[in-house]
Amino acid sequence: FSSLSPSMEERPPGTMRTLRGKERAVGLGMATISQRLVESGEKARLKELLRTKLIECGWQDDLRSYCLEVIQRIGEDKVTLEDLVQEVTPRGRATVPDAIKAELLERINKLLLAMSQPREDRMEHVLQNTDHGWMDGWM
């Protein structure tokens, strides 16, 4: 775990919860977590939530406009998909609003916590922490 758990001095501000979530994920097994998320439909729900939030905040429209700028700058006849992906991806990642990242991280941490609990405790935890049905059906 030493590579996943840098000392407090090495951690950027605000990453404590992220690293703890990763440590829990490693304890459960990333393949198991991924499989459970897919089987339960949570991965799809998280992706849909992200897509909806990005559309609502205007991120998608801003990135689409930036793509058009890149195409015009490079030239419509010269630009390749690889050029576009290489240029747009860093900007897309950097401009996702912090509030959206925080919300998704919180939901993922709740899922990891629920998955790491014994089955009988899990149902009680899910019922106490269900937020507008976002975890419905994962059991």
Per-residue pLDDT of the chain (139 residues; tens, 9 = 90+): 333 434 444 444 444 444 455 555 555 677 888 888 888 889 999 999 999 999 999 999 999 999 999 999 999 999 999 999 999 999 999 999 999 999 999 998 888 888 777 766 555 555 555 554 544 444 3
Helices (H), the chain: 16-28, 30-40, 42-56, 59-74, 81-94, 98-116, 119-129
Task: Give dist(CA 88, CA 66) in Å, integer.
Answer: 7
Asked whether 1 and 19 are in contact (CB, 8 A), the reply is no
Q: Is the pTM of this model over 0.75?
A: no
